[in-house]
Chains A and B, each alone.
Chain A
Amino acid sequence: MTWFMWRQHRVQVMIAAALVVAFAVPVWITGRHLADLLQACRTGTTCGGIFQGYQGFNTVVDLTVIVPLLIGVFWGATIIGRELESGTATLAWTQSVTRRRWLISKLGVLFGFTLLCAGAVTGLVTWWSNTHNAIVETRFAGLQFDIQAIAPIGYALFASALGLAAGVLWGRALPAMATTIGGFVAVRLIVELWARPHYLEPITRILSFAKSDGIPNGASAISTEVTRYGHVVSGPMPAPAQCISATSRPEMNECMHRLGYAIRATYQPAGRFWTFQWIEFGIFAGLAAVLTAVGVIAVLRREG
């Protein structure tokens, strides 16, 4: 069975390995360079312009956000879907190994590969982003949360399981790939936009105009609203007439404060980053488990 699986999937494995290596080499070189610059910044004075010339590579690193989807589309959706489509599943199922054993091997290949690929890419990105995280603390906000730490591995498991289930249920590779893309993007957006801000009760603070007050570094902002005497001011707000004469920003802020304006900010503090990562991982790993179970049952029940 091992030889059979290797013969069947070796091309995909080698392409994936080549891609991971092609990504790892520049990450390793630039990552070490950035770490040296960070060291120099901490011990000395030259902190400006560390990321000078890294915009392009930053984009490449950000693009790893689609790695889980690629794994789901090109591995999950095809690993069984294509065999059902071409009828070769019947060939495998009428040799002297049980369908169960064949399925276990397939799942081993799929999830082993998923963990290795997603783990390698995410590990590299997380390590590389160390400098970035130290200088600008944004890993809890937006895209950085989706490409670092443990959550991307959860996404990859989910994408693979979604592809697997879609491949089995469609019995054809192409519609399974399309379903994987649609389902993955939809679930990721729903979780990111509606569920993630509420994993834990967010912190709400009133930021005064009088002090230079802001959302703490590294936090994930959920909302900021302008209030006057505690009531939310909705809609576009023109500068109050009394303050128009202000000539500088501090003067303006002082004027706003006098009139009773303040800002109410809701956010998740930076210290919750890992808790949120694990919750996010748990959600997607759980969905992956459910979808895998669906796929397994569908294969075992399949009438050929």
Chain B
Amino acid sequence: MNTAIAVTDLGKRFGAKWALQDCTFALPEGRVCGLVGANGAGKTTLLRLLCGLSRPSTGRVEVAGQAPHDSAQFLSEIGYLAQDIPLYRRWSVADHLRMGAHLNRRWDDRAAHDRLRALRIPLDQRVGTLSGGQRAQVALAMALAKRPRVLMLDEPVAALDPLARRNFLSTLADAVADGDLTVMLSSHLVTDLERVCDHLVVLADSRTVLADGLDEVLASHRLLTGARRDTTGVERDHTVLRIERTHRQVSMWVRLNGALHDPHWEVTELSLEEIMLAYLGLGADHGVEPVVDGVPA
């Protein structure tokens, strides 16, 4: 399987502050990857680095086999949808599609028209008068008509109502099903991620703390509960994300790095949301080694 995105020790500093640090992961081609993190965790910074809008301070990035740079050859391989969905508000939808046709070598005008017509978005209407959901669809149609190999979406559904959000994600899912498009999508809505993603990258405090397939993530995280006792054995063999102790009982949110030998623990499956919350709760001094593709780094 080819790698669509490979990131090694990536770091980005703005002045004295690191917006992203020690970021390492690889995303296989054809995956839809959810990028998760609290506000300010570095999601936007990472996406901008991936499409070459920003340059890394340290480390390496490779997207579709190239280091991001200002060339037509690279730019035609990527699609990017910025967080605030910038469009020319006074232009009609058709103007935007024409712009895309003029500025891109590969441009699937037919697909863009069909997609927007199916959504009943009037092509001759000014973009500024469309609803937020329709604008997001126009921007997505433009990004898809470029026929990119890697598509980066920065919180595309954050501002949309639930119905518009579902429509947007189903358009995206259809596009992914059509070909070998790789998508990286940042969001903090876990239900959306579960619907479309099959891979996850989690950023906490500007570092990658998890990067793995969705199924692997669900399979390897468990909640252990039991009577209060020594936990050093578990902490040595597995990655403990969070511990809660009461007088009688201990609860541990754990990533299992192998079989659990102690039969005294009661083992419960965790939902994706619970797993994400455990990771997002990790602070700067969490002491948890980042888990990248199942290998503690």
Instruction: Give which listed residue, B51, B89, B102, B105, contacts A94 with CB less than 8 A.
Output: B51
Are A303 and B53 also in contact (CB < 8 A) when A94-B80, A95-B100 are?
yes
List of A residues within 8 angstroms of B18 by Cβ: none
Q: Are B53 and A93 in contact (CB under 8 A)?
A: yes
Q: Does B104 contact A (CB under 8 A)?
A: yes
List of A residues within 8 angstroms of B87 by Cβ: 88, 91
Q: Are B146 and A91 in contact (CB under 8 A)?
A: no
Docked complex Cα distance between A112 and B92 (Å) = 27
List of A residues within 8 angstroms of B48 by Cβ: 303-304
List of B residues within 8 angstroms of A304 by Cβ: 48, 53-54
Q: Which one of A8, A88, A95 has the highest number of Cβ atoms from chain B below 10 Å of its Cβ? A: A95
Residue of B nearest to A90 (CB): B82
Closest-CB distance, A133 to chain B (whole angstroms): 45
Closest-CB distance, B200 to chain A (whole angstroms): 24
Q: Are B53 and A97 in contact (CB under 8 A)?
A: no
* Contact code string A84-107 (vs B, CB < 8 Å = 1, else 0): 001110111111111110000000
Q: Are B104 and A96 in contact (CB under 8 A)?
A: yes
Q: Does B86 contact A (CB under 8 A)?
A: yes
Are A94 and B100 also in contact (CB < 8 A) when A86-B86, A303-B48 are?
no
* Contact code string A72-92 (vs B, CB < 8 Å = 1, else 0): 000000000000001110111
Residue of A nearest to B12 (CB): A303
Q: Are B86 and A87 in contact (CB under 8 A)?
A: yes
Q: Does B84 contact A (CB under 8 A)?
A: yes
Are A87 and B76 also in contact (CB < 8 A) when A3-B102, A95-B100, A304-B48 are?
no
Docked complex Cα distance between A3 and B104 (Å) = 13
Q: Are A96 and B82 in contact (CB under 8 A)?
A: no
Residue of B nearest to A88 (CB): B86
Are A90 and B80 also in contact (CB < 8 A) when A3-B98, A100-B70, A304-B53 are?
yes
List of B residues within 8 angstroms of A92 by Cβ: 103
Closest-CB distance, A297 to chain B (whole angstroms): 14
Q: Are A96 and B102 in contact (CB under 8 A)?
A: no
Docked complex Cα distance between A96 and B51 (Å) = 12
Number of interface residues of A (CB under 8 A): 22
Q: Does B78 contact A (CB under 8 A)?
A: yes
Q: Are A88 and B55 in contact (CB under 8 A)?
A: no
**A residues 8-27 in Cβ contact with B at 8 Å:** 8
Q: Does B160 contact A (CB under 8 A)?
A: no
Are A96 and B146 also in contact (CB < 8 A) when A87-B84, A88-B88, A91-B87 are?
yes
Q: Does A199 contact B (CB under 8 A)?
A: no
Q: Which one of A88, A96, A100 has the highest number of Cβ atoms from chain B below 10 Å of its Cβ? A: A96
Q: Does B99 contact A (CB under 8 A)?
A: yes
Instruction: Give which listed residue, B54, B70, B82, B91, contacts A303 with CB less than 8 A.
Output: B54
List of A residues within 8 angstroms of B55 by Cβ: 303
Closest-CB distance, B158 to chain A (whole angstroms): 15
Are A94 and B70 also in contact (CB < 8 A) when A1-B102, A4-B99 are?
no
Docked complex Cα distance between A173 and B98 (Å) = 26
| 7 other A-B residue contacts (CB within 8 Å) besides A4-B102, A90-B82 | A1-B102, A7-B95, A91-B87, A95-B146, A96-B105, A100-B70, A300-B70
Interface residues of A (CB under 8 A from B): 1, 3-4, 7-8, 86-88, 90-100, 300, 303-304
Provide 22 A-B residue pairs closer than 8 Å at the C-beta atoms, listed in order of the A residue. Answer: A1-B102, A1-B103, A3-B98, A3-B102, A4-B99, A4-B102, A4-B103, A7-B91, A7-B98, A87-B84, A87-B86, A88-B88, A90-B80, A91-B88, A93-B53, A94-B75, A95-B104, A96-B103, A97-B72, A98-B70, A300-B70, A303-B53
